Each structure stands twice: as structure tokens, then as C-alpha cells.
Amino acid sequence: MKSALLMGFLGLLLMLSSGKLLADPAFSAVYKMPADIEWADSLCPWKSATETGYLRLVRTLDDDRHRLLVQWIRKSMNEQPDEAVSTRVIDELDQLYRVRLQPPQAQLHPDHCELNMVAEDVDSERRYQLQLRLKGPGEYRLMVIEKLPGDL
């Protein structure tokens, strides 16, 4: 049993050192997503004149706070795997707010997808209502509304 594990490990090392494993496109996509993913879901569909796809929202947990990434996934034809056209970190949450997020409520509009979430500040427990509007690949707008203590 140990020798089989050792042989498998040595084979992996040889593949890595030869560049074969790193050249595999399926393997190269693995490192692009953060390792601390807590939750992910496919939400609203999107459509352009030539392509169709869907949005994937990824929530990560880092240092007791959540971060959000949005991916615009293009549906592939001819039995090829779907492809991420664009991946964006929601910078405002990453730079300005240290919050924990509840899962979003998605609402599809003719020209955008709207995600509504409740967030709570990690340090002060202040609550926010977040509205994330997602348009074409890479386009988003985040609106943050601070809730008063009596608000639900």
C-alpha cells in the first residue's frame, strides 16, 4: 500500500517537473479560484447577441469576513465545458467593508440581474442592505444602505 502511494506521488512529481500537468488546461484553471470558498451558486442567466450564459456568485471566508467574486459563465456548444468569460472580485467589499453576508435573493430584470443581501459588520455588528447589479461580463454596481438599529 505504501509503495503504491509512493509511486503515485513520484509520478505526480515527475509530471509536475516535466510541465505536463501544468500544461493541462483543466489543471491550470484550478488555482484561479480561492481555496477558502464557503459557498457558490449559479444565479441569473445572461444573453448577448452571440452568446448565452449564467452568473456564478462565490462567497469566500477569510479572517472571519466574507468576500464576493462574480463569474460570467458562457454556455458552450458542441459538448464543450462551460467557460468563465470574466471573473470580478467585488472590490468595495474587499476594501471598505469587513462583513458577513447572508445568501442573496436574485431578481432578473430585462437589462441586469439584481442580488439583494443582508450584511453584518464583523467588528461593530452594524447591519447593511447590499444591492449588487450585474450586467454584461465584468460590469457591476454595488449599492450599500446602512440599516438603523430598529430596521429588520
Q: What is the mean pLDDT of the chain?
A: 80
Distance CA 60, CA 37 (A): 4
pLDDT of residue 16: 44
**Residue 36: pLDDT band by 50, 70, 90 thresholds?**
confident
**Residue 127: pLDDT band by 50, 70, 90 thresholds?**
very high
Residue 4 has pLDDT above 70, yes or no: no
Distance CA 70, CA 56 (A): 6
DSSP H helices in the chain: 2-18, 20-23, 25-28, 91-95
pLDDT of residue 32: 59
pLDDT of residue 11: 45
Nearest to 80 by CA among 51, 122, 117, 49: 51
Distance CA 144, CA 116 (A): 10
Distance CA 135, CA 72 (A): 10
pLDDT of residue 25: 56
**Per-residue pLDDT reduced to its tens digit, 43-87:** 999 887 888 899 999 999 888 889 999 999 998 888 888 899 899
Q: Tell me the C-alpha to C-alpha distance, in Å, between residue 32 and each of 27, 40, 88, 103.
A: 10, 15, 12, 23
Stretch 27-56: mean pLDDT: 78
The answer to whether the predicted template modeling score (pTM) of the entire model surpasses 0.75 is no
Residue 125 has pLDDT above 50, yes or no: yes
Answer yes or no: are the C-beta atoms of 107 and 113 closer than 8 Å.
Answer: yes
| Neighbour-count burial for 122-143, b at 16+ CB within 10 Å, e otherwise | eeeeebbebebebeebeebebe
The three cell numbers of residue 1 are 500500500
Stretch 13-28: mean pLDDT: 47
